[in-house]
Amino acid sequence: MRVALPALFIGIALWIQISDPAFRARIRVNAFDQLQSLAPRSYQADLPVRVIAIDDESLRKLGQWPWSRTVLAQMIDQLTAMGASVIALDLIFPEADRTSPEQIAARFPDQPALQAQLKHLPEYDRVLANSFARSTVVLGFPIEAVAKSPLLPPEKARFLSFGGDHREWLPHYGGGLTSLPILTDAAQGSGSISLEPSSDGVLRAIPLLYQVKDRLYPSLGLEALRLFAGKENLSIHVTAKNAFAKTPGIVGVDLGDDVFVPTMEDGRAWLHFRPLAPARYISASTLLSGQVNPNQIKDHIVFIGATAKGLGDTAFSPLGELIPGVEGHVQLVEQVLAGHSLLRPAWEKEWLGTTLLLGALLLGWMLARFRPIWSVLVTSVLVAGLFAFSLWLFTQQHLLLDPFYPALAMIGLFLTLVVPRYVQTESEQRWIRNAFSRYVSPNRVKFLQDNPQQLELNTAYRECSFVMSDLAGFTSLMEKYPPEQLSELINEYLEGMIQIVFQHDGTLDRIVGDAVAVMFSAPLTQVDHAARALSCALAMDRFGQECSLRQQALGIPFGKTRIGVNTGQVLVGNFGGKTMLDYRALGDPINTAARLESINKQLGTRVCVSGATVAQCKHFIGRPAGNLVLKGKSEPIAAFEPLTAEQAAQPHIIAYLAAYALMDTQSPEAAAVFQQLTLQYPDDPLAAYHAKRLAAGEVGSTVVLKDK
């Protein structure tokens, strides 16, 4: 799983890169937009490119569009006189000029005198055509998917194809909307003015070649460059489809004189945009008024196009600017003249595969040896490196390498490596936690999970309560029954006892054979630790009785459970060393709890609770067992036998309490009263214990124990 999932992910990522679905293309173009925004092409004022703009100011001064063809002819003649090398018109003239004399004469058939006068005036379309003939003009026309005009403009450029058939790669169009034949014949060049921005309205690339029916046309900008270079031919370089071609298709267009325009396989050229440059534009009204310095026009490629609002076509640039259609052709011409081009690297697929493979090996190695945070940092560095590398290629090598998709793929690869490991690690930790909980109390495990810093050698004094239990007669059972039967029996008993401990949020300190040691208020402080300990001891007592009766009914002499409970200050914490930690409590209160458990055997009780615990249990019900001076001790401790409310109301308990009061005051009558109790209630072992002790000459409730 750890290898298969990343390998599958890499395969899917490469398949997406190769098949290039719509969302992948969208990621790429968005990445290219960001690169252009970060490093747009700078404006070069010395490039011989100028735009005569039919702008709002020109419309205000010269009137609404369309203008008379004589006005346009005047503009062409002025530009030619100023030394313009090529004039490219991002305009179309499909109909005759309605202001031309012959057009006006046709509107007045009943005025022969007017018609005769107008007949001697030149046709305005002819005037414009003559201006074309005196200059070097490229006349534009739009490409249409379906033919709208039966005519197509004449082919001015000749094309040579090298390396393959370019027709396999170019889109096919049904026709175009052409200008009047008198104008197209007079123009020295024909070029398409169609830009074809992306579906989001952003112009990122421009076709250099258009295949219309069986004819081939250049774009307006490419045709202007051809005439500017004084060439008749354009060479199309194609890489044919074969096993050795990495990127089959159209490679680029050669204009000669070492001017080569690289393209995508379908003949489009990427545009590296600069911000709109007002200095590149001259208002048509300024030109017609004679206010233009000829040096701004001489030896330039001059475009004439509409920039007025609502007049011409527009598109958005990757820089977020709304640009007039003519700007797209201008940007292309500037790039070619500056020797600047953008390309996608041919090695992009191999680079992506290598990057993901090396990334998988590096991250896999790190995840196996270091904490996951280091893999997160390395992934972040790799992703940042992808963006830096892409930006460097764009600014220094003019290569368009999308950093977004590889970055997303790297993040996805990281997740495919980390998630299975996390799931497996979590499963292993859950297994360990469950298994560990069988050895350590769940509250201890949870405490360490919430407070991992506690896994160190530290200790503290704290008041805790302790419950010690022991099963009477267990040694004799070991001698009588086979190990497998005894193992099942003792495991069932211990499981029930431990469940009770955990139900009361006790911490299982240790199990020694059939004995269970429990502490409360460690590791997590419990304000009511004494009450919890007492409640736990009573529940353990009930379970022990039930278990004993059940086994005895089966013929197994299962003994009774003896329990001691005590409260006191102890030293709590982790003890041991670097090799092993043992969490436990150290102090005399623990030994006292163990001694109280053992004293039950002498007193005849099952549960013995110290006065220190009883003092913290406001609702304690029980009877005093005596003030016990444990062996090796000099100070007595009060001991009590806990009772239920029903038991406390029994006659023999009431009688015992009265007798104990006499004994506690060292009354001479105490011995006789206890003797009477043993006769009246022979099943009360605690009363019998005191009767025997008093009969031996002892007095008072203080009992000095000779045995542990």
pLDDT digits (tens, 9 = 90+) for 573-585: 877 766 666 778 8
User: How many angstroms separate the first and last alpha carbons of the chain?
Assistant: 61
Check whether the bond before 523 is cis (ω within 30° of 0).
yes
- Predicted confidence at residue 642, as pLDDT, reads 97
Mean pLDDT is lowest, of 105-119, 280-294, 333-347, 671-685, for: 105-119
CA distances from 194 to 185, 223, 227, 598 (A): 21, 13, 19, 103
Higher pLDDT, 707 or 114: 707
Host H or E run for residue 357: helix 348-369
- Predicted confidence at residue 105, as pLDDT, reads 67
Name, of 376-390, 433-447, 680-694, the range with top average pLDDT.
680-694
Burial label, 371 (beta-carbon count in 10 A; 0-12, 13-18, 19+)? exposed
- Predicted confidence at residue 448, as pLDDT, reads 61
Burial label, 569 (beta-carbon count in 10 A; 0-12, 13-18, 19+)? middle
Give the integer Cα–Cα distance in Å for 194 and 326: 10
Decide if pLDDT at 440 tops 90. no
Where do the H-state alpha helices sit in 20-100? 22-38, 56-62, 69-81
Average pLDDT of the residues in 136-149: 84
Per-residue pLDDT band at 270 (split at 50, 70, 90): very high
- Predicted confidence at residue 629, as pLDDT, reads 94
Parallel, antiparallel, or unpaired: how do β-strands 249-256 and 233-239 relate?
Answer: antiparallel
Parallel, antiparallel, or unpaired: how do β-strands 507-512 and 515-520 relate?
Answer: antiparallel
Average pLDDT of the residues in 674-696: 93
- Predicted confidence at residue 656, as pLDDT, reads 95
pLDDT digits (tens, 9 = 90+) for 508-539: 888 888 899 999 998 888 999 999 999 999 99
pLDDT digits (tens, 9 = 90+) for 346-375: 888 888 888 888 877 887 777 777 777 887
pLDDT digits (tens, 9 = 90+) for 8-36: 878 888 888 888 888 888 888 898 999 99
Higher pLDDT, 628 or 480: 628
- Predicted confidence at residue 118, as pLDDT, reads 66
Structure-token pair, residue 255: 């204009």
Percent of the chain past pLDDT 90, that is, above it, reads 58
Query: What is the widest separation between alpha-carbon atoms in the chain?
Result: 165
Higher pLDDT, 405 or 447: 405
- Predicted confidence at residue 452, as pLDDT, reads 60
Level-2 CATH architecture, domain 442-618: 2-Layer Sandwich (3.30)
Mean pLDDT is lowest, of 229-233, 235-239, 377-381, for: 377-381
**Amino acid sitting at position 334:** E
Structure-token pair, residue 294: 């000829």
Beta strands in 174-283 (DSSP E): 175-176, 189-192, 205-207, 209-212, 215-218, 233-239, 249-256, 259-262, 268-270, 281-283
pLDDT digits (tens, 9 = 90+) for 407-423: 888 888 878 877 777 66
Give the integer Cα–Cα distance in Å for 107 and 100: 11
Per-residue pLDDT band at 631 (split at 50, 70, 90): confident
- Predicted confidence at residue 310, as pLDDT, reads 83
Average pLDDT of the residues in 481-485: 79
Average pLDDT along the chain: 88
Computed from CA positions of residues 644, 645, 651, 653, in that sequence, does the dihedral angle turn out positive or negative?
positive
- Predicted confidence at residue 116, as pLDDT, reads 66
Where do the H-state alpha helices sit in 438-557? 442-450, 474-480, 483-503, 529-553
- Predicted confidence at residue 350, as pLDDT, reads 84
Per-residue pLDDT band at 241 (split at 50, 70, 90): low
Give the integer Cα–Cα distance in Å for 441 and 455: 15
Percent of the chain past pLDDT 70, that is, above it, reads 91
